[in-house]
A and B are shown apart, each in its own frame.
Chain A
Amino acid sequence: MKRPIRQAISGAIYTVSSLLGVSAFLYPFFIVVSPQSPAQAHSNDAPLVTAALLGLLLMAMIVELQGQTLGAKMVALLGILTALNSVLRFIENAIPGPGGFSPVFAPIILTGYVFGGRFGFLMGVFSLLVSALITGGVGPWLPYQMFAAGWVGLTTGGLHLLRPLFGPYRHQKAEIALLCAWGFLWGLLYGAIMNLWFWPWAVGPPDQTWSAGLSLADGLRNYGKFYLVTSLAWDMGRAIGNVALILLIGPPTLRTLERFRQRFYFEVRPAHD
């Protein structure tokens, strides 16, 4: 009786948080729209507001997920997989890949796919946080990174629902192809989201734009131009890197995670009698 209600509320929390996240990321464009944005002090607040909002969302979601997901097993597993992912990022720092390529996304996608969206979200959030702590990368960009990487994992949980189609241990080409396409998409999207933390600095306050009353569509078009010029090539490195990495490590990693999941999770049977 209680379970469906809980699940419904959880679902509501993820949905509303994601909507809020989207609006937070789009906030710089909304400011442009806002007809009477006062051309005064506090006109550069957008990134601060967004970062604060993302921080708040992260807090709410972590509290929710802590309660639902984190027994000792998950805590240990997340801690160690996060350390593992940070090792990958550390190696990447030593041997840089092409463009924005980073090896951290493939494990987030793969674990999110096997263990579900909640796990994927936490895996994304903590992977970015821990590697920032280790490499000294804490800054106002961190909530953006955490939230975006968390999204990668959370949305991969949606693909998780398709898993029964593929069956256990088989991992046909279609499954890997799906994950590759996913990795490609998120490789680009992640870059587009991350640019937003300094986008307002790049375009300046609204009164700088030459025509007042610029619409949301114009804002997006401007951003599109900005993105094409500054980031597309860079992000392509990440997207293609994700595809290559998932093609390479995907099948055996899925098999390994699968075996492990069967050992780690089990039905707790009534011990007595």
Chain B
Amino acid sequence: MIDPRIWLFWAFTMLVAASEVRNPLYILWLLLVAWIVEIRWALHRGQKIPWSFRWGVLLIPLAGLFNGMSVRIGETVLLRLPSWLPLMGGPITLEALVYGVLNGMALTIILSAFLTFNRATPARDMVRIVPKAFYEAGVILSIALTFFPLMLRTVQDIREAQMVRGHRIRGLRDWLAIWLPLLMNGLERAVRLAEAMVARGYGAPFPSGSPMGVQFSLAGGLTALLGGWLVRLFVPQHRDAGLGVLLLGVGLILGTVWWVGHAHPRTGYRNRSWTLWDGLIGLGCGVAAWILIDPFSWVDPQALYYSPYPRLLLPDFHPWVGLGLLGLLIPAFAKRSSEID
């Protein structure tokens, strides 16, 4: 089993990759990587073609078409629509079409990566990686996941109980007889659950309020973030100062969150230990992320950059970049545990 945090890191690296890269060769490369991992981890029983493949078939031509219709630059004009056509009139260029297709591929990569993440990580495990500062939020998620199947069954019970009173679903109005008992049942359960939690020492029945310091530093952090950002956007001569204030704000917020997490100690019953595969995948993602953020600045700072405009040119392919991005393929080789729910 791969640690959910590692899966998340992987999916995020894929997301960053898909956002950064527009070089058709790298995009294709990443798409292949995404599909291989998806086939390895995210196929339902009896399924042959990955879901995101089907999405891609739909999404890629659509994105191409959309961009082709809305962007008028590029030198290779394929077609000229009459200008009296609203929104669509004007030249349609090969470059714009290609760029749209690349956008569609990037979106497909993102879909595929997160599909894999969702399929490979049970919801419970996702909740377990919620940081300590969000303990209450984690408990809410946990309760919701515990009660979800119960509530589904309750819907069925309610339907039956209403049917034997002669109830039928003929129109929208008839859903009331399902919704209201469900809501009432949920509210009553909430009281009983809260009572059980309090009896087991969970917090106070009413909130005591966080320390004023937390509130102050959150408010301060947010204000700095907003101020810094606005300065950066609208006062070009102080861009760097703006960046500094912005980072200060981010730091304040993250620091507060960290502090809140440590002010209320909690321990975990299940402590997952890191495995070799976790390490390998993490390393692979790290390499890929590094290439994406700082693409061999010592070789060629523009290695990742590609634009089809004004005229479509054959893209470069740096073998080192290609190799580095292969770090994202490592999950395809990791062992799948046979744990079944």
Q: Do any beta carbons of A and B sit within 8 angstroms of each other in the complex? A: yes
Within 8 A of B (CB), among A1-45: 2, 5-6, 9-10, 12-13, 16-17, 19-20, 23, 30, 33-36, 39-42, 44-45
Of the residues A44, A140, A244, contact of B22 by C-beta under 8 Å: A44
- Within the complex, the shortest CB–CB distance from B184 to chain A, in Å, comes to 6
Stretch at the interface among B31-39, B99-107, B276-284, B312-320: B99-107
Taking a contact as CB atoms under 8 Å apart, the answer to whether A16 and B204 are in contact is no
Contact status A202-B144, CB under 8 Å: no
* Contact status B180-A244, CB under 8 Å: no
Chain B positions 209 through 225: 1 when the CB is less than 8 Å from some CB of chain A, otherwise 0 = 11110111011011101
User: Which chain A positions have C-beta within 8 A of B226?
Assistant: 16, 19-20, 23
Say if the beta carbon of B290 comes within 8 Å of chain A.
Answer: no
Does B119 sit within 8 A of A, measured CB to CB? yes
A52 nearest in chain B by CB position: B250
A59 engages B197 (CB within 8 Å): no
1/0 per residue, CB under 8 A from B, across A119-157: the answer is 000100010011001101111100000000000000000
**Pairwise interchain contact A86-B148, C-beta atoms closer than 8 A:** yes
**Does any Cβ of A come within 8 Å of B287's Cβ?**
no
Contact call B144/A86, Cβ cutoff below 8 A: yes
Check if B190 is an interface residue, CB within 8 A of chain A. yes
Interface residues of B in 154-186 (CB under 8 A from A): 155, 172-173, 175-176, 179-180, 182-184, 186
Q: Does B46 contact A (CB under 8 A)?
A: no
Is the pair A139, B110 in contact by a Cβ cutoff of 8 Å?
A: yes
Give the total of B residues in contact with A, Cβ under 8 Å: 103
Task: Please determine whether A207 and B215 come into contact, CB atoms closer than 8 angstroms.
Answer: no
Which of A5, A138, A201 has the most chain B CB atoms inside 10 A of its CB? A201
Tell me the minimal C-beta distance from A208 to chain B in angstroms.
6
B41: CB under 8 A from chain A?
A: no
A81 to B106, CA, bound (A): 36
Does chain A have a CB within 8 A of B115?
Answer: yes
Complex Cα gap A259–B164 (Å): 27
Contacts of B223 in A (CB 8 A): 12, 16
Considering the complex, which residues of chain B in the window 182-214 have a beta carbon less than 8 Å from any beta carbon of chain A? 182-184, 186-187, 189-191, 193-194, 197-198, 202-207, 209-212, 214
Cα-based distance from A138 to B42 in the complex (angstroms): 14
Chain B residue numbers with a CB within 8 Å of A63 are: 133-134, 210, 214, 218, 256-257, 260
Q: A56-B253, A138-B118, A260-B187 are in contact. Are A79 and B193 (CB under 8 A)?
A: yes
A80 within 8 A of B: yes
Which chain B positions have C-beta within 8 A of A71?
A: 203-207
Chain A residues in 8 Å Cβ range of B254: 56
Q: At the interface, yes or no: A176 with Cβ under 8 Å from chain B?
A: no
Q: Which of A10, A42, A48, A130 contacts B215 (CB 8 A)?
A: A10
* Given contacts A76-B143, A248-B173, A229 and B302 within 8 Å (CB-CB): no
Q: Which residues of A contact B186 (CB under 8 A)?
A: 80-81, 83-84
Q: Tell me if B184 and A256 are in contact (CB < 8 A).
A: yes
Question: For A77, what are the chain B residues with a Cβ–Cβ distance below 8 Å?
Answer: 187, 190, 194
Known: A68-B207, A72-B194, A256-B180. A13 touches B219 (CB 8 A): yes
**A47 and B73 contact, CB distance less than 8 A:** no
Flag if B134 contacts A62 (CB, 8 Å). yes
B29 within 8 A of A: no
Q: Report chain B residues within 8 Å CB of A23.
A: 226, 229-230
Contact A72 B204 (CB under 8 A): yes
Partner of A204, one of B72, B99, B189: B99
Q: Are A70 and B210 in contact (CB under 8 A)?
A: no
Q: Name the one of A60, A73, A139, A204 contacting B221, with C-beta atoms under 8 angstroms.
A: A60
CA distance A16 to B257 in the complex (A): 17
> Of all chain A residues, which has the CB nearest B8?
A138
B20 on the A face (CB < 8 A): yes
A114 to B169, CA, bound (A): 28
Q: List 26 A-B contacts (CB under 8 A).
A: A44-B19, A59-B257, A63-B133, A64-B215, A66-B135, A68-B209, A70-B136, A71-B203, A72-B203, A72-B204, A73-B206, A75-B140, A75-B203, A78-B140, A79-B190, A80-B151, A82-B144, A90-B148, A136-B115, A139-B110, A202-B66, A204-B71, A208-B96, A209-B71, A248-B176, A264-B187
Which residues of chain B have a CB within 8 Å of any CB of chain A? Answer: 15-16, 19-20, 22, 63, 66-67, 70-73, 87, 96, 99-100, 103, 106-107, 110-111, 114-115, 117-119, 123, 126-127, 133-137, 139-148, 150-152, 155, 172-173, 175-176, 179-180, 182-184, 186-187, 189-191, 193-194, 197-198, 202-207, 209-212, 214-216, 218-219, 221-223, 225-226, 229-230, 233, 236, 250, 253-254, 256-257, 260, 295, 301-302, 304-305, 307, 309
Q: 4 closest Cβ contacts across the A-B interface? A: A67-B210, A79-B143, A136-B118, A76-B194
